[in-house]
C-alpha cells in the first residue's frame, strides 16, 4: 500500500477531528449567546458553524475517496 495514500488519509482524519471540535465550541457559544442576547456574536457563530458544516461534508467525501483508493491499492497487491 502507498505510504502517501495512508498519510493523506491520516491527515484527513486529523482535520476532521479539528473541525468537529470547533463545531462543538461554536454550538456551546451559540447556546451561551442566546442566553445573553448577544446577537452579533450569535450571528457570527452561526455563519462560522455553517462554513464548518460545509467543510466537514467536503472532508467526508475526501475521506471516502481516500479510503477507496487505499482499498483499490490493497486489492491490486
Instruction: From first to last of the 77 residues of the chain, give the pLDDT tens digit.
Output: 568 888 888 999 999 999 999 999 998 888 877 666 667 778 888 899 999 999 999 999 999 999 998 888 888 87
Q: Measure the CA–CA gap between 7 and 61, rounded to whole angstroms.
A: 17
Q: What is the DSSP letter of 59?
A: H
User: Given this model, what pLDDT does residue 43 score?
Assistant: 83
User: Given this model, what pLDDT does residue 76 score?
Assistant: 82
User: Given this model, what pLDDT does residue 59 score?
Assistant: 95
* Number of structural domains the chain divides into: 1
- The model carries a pTM of 0.74
- Host domain of residue 19: 3-76
Amino acid at each position: 500500500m502507498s505510504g502517501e495514500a495512508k498519510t493523506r488519509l491520516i491527515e484527513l482524519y486529523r482535520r476532521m477531528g479539528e473541525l468537529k471540535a470547533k463545531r462543538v465550541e461554536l454550538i456551546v457559544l451559540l447556546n451561551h449567546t442566546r442566553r445573553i442576547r448577544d446577537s452579533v456574536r450569535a450571528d457570527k457563530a452561526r455563519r462560522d458553524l455553517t462554513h464548518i458544516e460545509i467543510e466537514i461534508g467536503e472532508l467526508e467525501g475526501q475521506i471516502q475517496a481516500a479510503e477507496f483508493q487505499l482499498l483499490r491499492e490493497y486489492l491490486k497487491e
